[in-house]
Amino acid sequence: MYLVMENERESGEKSTRIHKFDGLGRSPIRFSWGVIGLVLILLLMVPQFCFALETNETVDAAGKVTVTDATIEPSVLMTGDVGLVTFTVENTGTSNVAISDARLISKELTVLNTDTYQSSRTIGAGTSMKFSFSIVANQPENIYYPAFYLNYRDAGSLRYNLPVRVESPQLELFVSGIPDTYTKGVASTITLHVGNAKSVNMTGITVEPSGEGIQSNQTTFFIGDLWPHKESSVMFTITPSVSTNLNFNVTYTCGMNSHQTSYSIPVPLGTDKLAAQPVLNNIEVATESGQTTLSGDVSNAGITDAYGVVIALESAAAEDGNPNEKYAIGTISAGDYESFDLKIPSGLKDVPIIIQYKDPSGNQFSKSLTLDMEKISGGTQGSGIAGGAGGAGMPAGGGPPGMGGAPTGASSGTTSGSSNSGGSSRGGVNPMNPLSGMGSGLSGIPVMEILYGIIILIVIIVIWVIWRRKMKGRKISINTK
């Protein structure tokens, strides 16, 4: 449909315009290039505005995500150990947050599972998620700071640095109670001290002693757990047969990691300087009715007490030997002595004697010597019998060199008469010490007699004091009618 319009100009001329209608009575719109450009700009700005609005919401939601916990197992790693690091991430907001990946990055420590969390996931509102990484502490003792990265799909990333302490794997080991020397076949007790000087809990600690020619009362000792800066002690009784080294092999764990360390001490064989040293002296021989009795003293010239002392003829030293040819003394303290009476066969020229005794650990020792009866009867021997085939400080059946030779001491002459159970009636009394002839050692002191005398003296004094008090102030008159 067309409409013809005529316009009359001021000059009187007429112009004609033809307008096209769309049939609905609307006039067509004239478009220009400026209008088209404005429309295009508005169309481009609308999606950009919408995208900007979506990014701000995502950033706000990601800001509600935080690391609430970070743990290391074990808490302190030894050099070369494998540890497990776990991060707990919590979404405290009200919107879900999309995550593209999670990583643990370190320049010093090695991360074993770097690609575990490379896939996308979502942390729901009000929920938490754990991320675990295995690391190798292949660095010297120090503190390291690996970085945990949580990358969001639409809002950057979260970073968290965790301090990891690395220490050198070491247990402190030392031994106390080591003797100056060890004796072949003799048990000695020593103490192994195990100390944890580190900051990690050590578990499953096991100690195993070993060494050539060494017998131990325990093949293995289990200590168990040892907390940081704590100590545990283990006692071992060892019996060496040769000079060797005693080794202690210690195994333990820290977390999932096993460790091993060792400690060694020398075990030299020799003579114990602190051992008991039984010595015979004041030997006398008495014969009565064809029975010969050998009497004397056994002194302990050593530093350690001698226990279970028995003196016997060599032929009767065994358990099934003639009991009449044995004399049990018991304990002889260091520096003390005890007497003995021993029945011996008559007519012997040489009398083989064995002194048996034990140390505080129960080890059996023996000392052998031979008495020359002619020298004893002839008075040519001195005052100390310290020798023989055996020696103090050696196990049964042996003795140190330099202890041999014939005995050299006893009072001269042969004494007749019977001997009592506490010792024989023999010479050897020290004129400077009248009590020296009152028996053997402390057992020869008449304790009961002295005690009775003290009690009688106290009673006399009490009676005298009472009598004085009653008689005080009274006059005594005498009638001479």
Phi, psi of 382 (to 5 degrees): -85, -155
- Predicted confidence band of residue 161 (pLDDT cuts 50, 70, 90): very high
User: Residue 109 is which amino acid?
Assistant: L
Per-position DSSP letters for 116-173, written without gaps between them? TT-S-EEE-TT-EEEEEEEEE--S-SEEE--EEEEEESSS-EEEEE--EEEE----EE
Given a cut of 50, whether residue 21 has pLDDT beyond it is no
- Predicted confidence band of residue 377 (pLDDT cuts 50, 70, 90): low
Q: What percent of the chain has pLDDT over 90?
A: 26
Of the two residues 290 and 164, the one the predictor is more confident about is 164
Given a cut of 80, whether residue 162 has pLDDT beyond it is yes
Query: Which helix (H) or strand (E) element contains residue 69?
Result: strand 65-73
Q: In what order do the strands lie in the sheet with 364-372?
A: 326-332, 306-313, 350-358, 364-372
- Predicted confidence band of residue 460 (pLDDT cuts 50, 70, 90): very high
> Which domains, from first to last, does the chain contain?
62-167 (2.60.120.570), 172-267 (2.60.40.10), 278-443 (2.60.40)
Of the two residues 211 and 385, the one the predictor is more confident about is 211
- What would the pLDDT profile of 329-350 be if each residue is shown by its tens digit? 889 998 899 998 888 888 778 8
- What would the pLDDT profile of 397-417 be if each residue is shown by its tens digit? 343 333 333 333 333 333 333
Given a cut of 90, whether residue 250 has pLDDT beyond it is yes
Query: Which helix (H) or strand (E) element contains residue 265?
Result: strand 257-267
Give the range among 238-242, 295-299, 323-327, 352-356 with minimum mean pLDDT.
Answer: 323-327
Question: What pLDDT, on the 0 to 100 scale, is given for residue 155?
Answer: 80
Given a cut of 60, whether residue 71 has pLDDT beyond it is yes
Quick one: average pLDDT of 168-182? 86
Question: What pLDDT, on the 0 to 100 scale, is given for residue 282?
Answer: 86
- What would the pLDDT profile of 116-129 be if each residue is shown by its tens digit? 898 888 888 889 99
Quick one: average pLDDT of 196-214? 90
Question: What pLDDT, on the 0 to 100 scale, is given for residue 11?
Answer: 47
Query: Which helix (H) or strand (E) element contains residue 264?
Result: strand 257-267
Question: What pLDDT, on the 0 to 100 scale, is given for residue 445?
Answer: 67
User: Residue 33 is which amino acid?
Assistant: W
Place of tokens 């009472």: 466
SS3 115: coil
SS3 208: strand
What count of Cα atoms within 13 Å lies in the side-chain half-sphere of residue 365?
30
Question: What pLDDT, on the 0 to 100 scale, is given for residue 266?
Answer: 92
Question: What pLDDT, on the 0 to 100 scale, is given for residue 447?
Answer: 74
Place of tokens 């919401």: 57
What's the pTM? 0.53
Given a cut of 90, whether residue 193 has pLDDT beyond it is yes
Between CA 357 and CA 328 the distance in angstroms is 10
Question: What pLDDT, on the 0 to 100 scale, is given for residue 44?
Answer: 61
Closest by CA to 353, choosing from 290, 272, 424, 410, is 410
